[in-house]
Each structure stands twice: as C-alpha cells, then as structure tokens.
C-alpha cells in the first residue's frame, strides 16, 4: 500500500510514528511543511522537517517534542554573550550541526529536497520525507502591537510572542511562485490513500495545501483527516490562535468545515466530539490522544480503516 501524509512538526511526527507501526509494510511518503523555515545566524533552519526526521529517527527530545535528545546550548549562550539577536529561538548544539550541513549543501547548489534525503540517510526515518517545495515560501503574520501594524516571521510570532498578540492575517509569502518539490505530485498521484495527521490546520496542513498543485492532487484521492482539536481545545500548543486569525472556531466541527468535503472523505474525531458531521464526509469517533506509541498506532489504524 502507498500512503502519503502531509505533516507539520510535533503533531505530525508523533502521528507518523504510529502510522509507521500500524502499517509496517506500507510505503509512506511524507510531504513536510517548510513554511516555518527561517534563516538564523546564516543557518537555514527547517523546524518541521527536522522534527519529523528526529522523531522517526529516534533522536528527538521526547518531553519537549522538538529538538535533539541530550542537547546542550553552548553555541546559543556564546552568541548571546556577544549580544547577538535573536536570542528567543532555541538552537541546540547538536541541532546546529544539522543546520550547518543543510546550509553548506544549499550554498553548494543542492535543492532542499536532495538535502533532506541526504540528512535522512543518517536518520533512517523509515518513510520518504520530501519538503512541500524547494522554493522559499515562508509564513508571515500581520500583527498590531505597540510598535505598530507590521508583518513578522511566523517564528517571531509563535516563539518570541507565544502567539499572545492577535494575528490579523497569516500569509505564506512566496506561495504563488512556489512549485511542489520533485516527487510530491508523483507520490500523490500514486497514493492509495492520503492521511492528514492532527497537525495545525492553518500553518502546517493549510500551508502545504497552498503550494500550487498540491491541493488539487490531494483532492483526487481518498483522504482521511485526524482532528487536531479535541473538545474545543488544541490538546497542546497554540493552534487556536491560528484558527482565530482566519476566523475559524476552535472545534473539530469547524476544522472539518475548513477542510471541506472536496478535500476530505473521512474525518476522525475524539469521542467527546461525537456528533460532528458534514455531508459527503464519513465521521468516526475514537480516542485521539497520542499519549504513547500504542495509543498513537491505534489512531493510525483507525484512520486507515476509515480510508478503506
């Protein structure tokens, strides 16, 4: 069986670990979000690709959900001692090595998709990980605070401001001119099923779907989504701030309507959200908390069953 999954960071990566164990014989292709990518201190950082790679490769900091296990922060502290900004982004020493390799290869002319493949040769994630695009398309957020109305990089809003300032608009800058990375459309065309993990519907899944051609290729397929919202809350993180920014309520029903019946064929919701419905979409209620690998594999199995 060929499965394609779109994925953001923590929610996507955890779900994929369950999917991999629920479908050990399947060929899984992951289309990763690169809208969160940022250049810091001259280094190209791809947080969501790395979260997927480290999680599936066994190098993730489990408690945190991102970054490397057994990490130190000597470089970050040294940069801060020089007064270098930004100081709000948590760059670990081991993680920096990944960014150095990536940046060196980018400077040598390799596309991000080829670099991601090279990095995965070390981590052996057990899936094929492809960035949504090799082109630069970064999410920016329009905010209005004491410094006035302006657009900041998504990471500045998310990490520095902890999404505490309301977002007036969320824009994927560069989306119109971006092309899907090599292999993305091919993988979708050949897929038996497309699974949308419980990733952020706005700045993870929504971002990937904005790359011209991807939404159309996904719509042609049998698509099952797993709700990232349980009982009106985003379980962990601040996804509600992103939904509010685009005028969508934080509920499994509203996210189902946001994705819509053109995209989705099946929608997996938590048991407390039983009753959620939309014409043309089959809705099934199951426990959706990814508390441990076993529970997560059960969620993935339920998604595959629903697809069948």
Chain residues in the site for ligand GDP (CB under 6 A): 7-12, 48, 51, 198-200, 204, 226-228, 230, 234-237, 239, 288-290
Count of alpha carbons within 13 angstroms of residue 38, beta-carbon side = 19
**What's the min distance (Å) between Cβ of 109 and Ca ion?**
27
**What's the min distance (Å) between Cβ of 240 and ligand GDP?**
8
**What's the min distance (Å) between Cβ of 150 and ligand GDP?**
23
Q: Which residue is nearest to Ca ion (CB)?
A: 9
| Partner from Ca ion, ligand GDP, none contacting 32, C-beta within 5 to 8 A by type | none
| Partner from ligand GDP, Ca ion, none contacting 239, C-beta within 5 to 8 A by type | ligand GDP
**What's the min distance (Å) between Cβ of 25 and Ca ion?**
29
Residues 8-47, mask of contacts with Ca ion (x by CB under 5 A): xx--------------------------x-----------
Positions in 45-64 near Ca ion (CB under 5 A): 48
**C-alpha 23 chain-centroid distance:** 20
Q: What is d(CA 40, CA 49) in angstroms, rounded to the nearest whole number? A: 16
Phi/psi at 46 (nearest 5 deg)?
A: -120, 80
Q: What is d(CA 120, CA 25) in angstroms, rounded to the nearest whole number? A: 19
Query: Mind giving me the DSSP string for 34-82?
Result: -TT-EEETTEEE-HHHHHHHHHHHT-B-TTTSSSBTT---HHHHHHHHT
**What's the min distance (Å) between Cβ of 146 and ligand GDP?**
27
Secondary structure, 3-state, 165-183: CCCCEEEEECHHHCCECCC
Nearer to Ca ion, 155 or 251 (CB): 155
Q: Is the torsion defined by CA of 195, 199, 201, 203 positive or negative?
A: negative
Nearer to ligand GDP, 60 or 239 (CB): 239
| Partner from ligand GDP, Ca ion, none contacting 206, C-beta within 5 to 8 A by type | none
Tell me the CA distances in angstroms from 293 to 129, 158, 220, one per residue in order: 20, 27, 31
């Amino acid at each position: 069986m060929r499965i394609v999954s779109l994925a953001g960071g923590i929610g996507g990566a955890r779900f994929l670990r369950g999917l991999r164990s629920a479908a050990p014989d399947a060929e899984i292709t992951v289309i990763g979000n690169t809208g969160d990518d940022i250049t810091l201190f001259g280094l190209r950082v791809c947080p969501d690709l790395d979260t997927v790679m480290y999680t599936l490769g066994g190098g993730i900091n489990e408690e945190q959900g991102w970054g490397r296990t057994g990490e130190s922060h000597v470089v970050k502290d040294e940069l801060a001692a020089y007064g270098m900004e930004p100081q709000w982004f948590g760059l670990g020493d081991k993680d920096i090595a990944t960014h150095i390799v990536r940046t060196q290869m980018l400077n040598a002319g390799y596309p991000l998709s080829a670099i991601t493949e090279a990095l995965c040769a070390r981590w052996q994630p057990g899936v094929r990980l492809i960035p949504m695009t090799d082109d630069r398309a970064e999410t920016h957020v329009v905010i209005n605070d004491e410094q006035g109305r302006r657009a900041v990089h998504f990471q500045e809003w998310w990490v520095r401001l902890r999404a505490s300032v309301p977002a007036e608009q969320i824009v994927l800058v560069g989306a119109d001119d971006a092309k899907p990375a090599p292999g993305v459309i091919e993988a979708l065309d050949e897929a038996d099923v497309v699974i949308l993990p419980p990733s952020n519907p706005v700045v993870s899944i929504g971002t990937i779907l904005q790359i011209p051609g991807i939404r159309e290729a996904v719509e042609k397929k049998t698509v099952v989504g797993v709700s990232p919202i349980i009982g009106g809350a985003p379980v962990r993180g601040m996804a509600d701030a992103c939904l509010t920014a685009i005028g969508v309520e934080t509920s499994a029903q509203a996210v189902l309507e946001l994705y819509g019946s053109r995209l989705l064929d099946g929608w997996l919701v938590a048991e407390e959200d039983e009753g959620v419905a939309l014409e043309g979409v089959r809705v099934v209620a199951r426990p959706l908390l990814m508390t441990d690998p076993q529970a997560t594999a059960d969620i993935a199995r339920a998604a595959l069953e629903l697809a069948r």
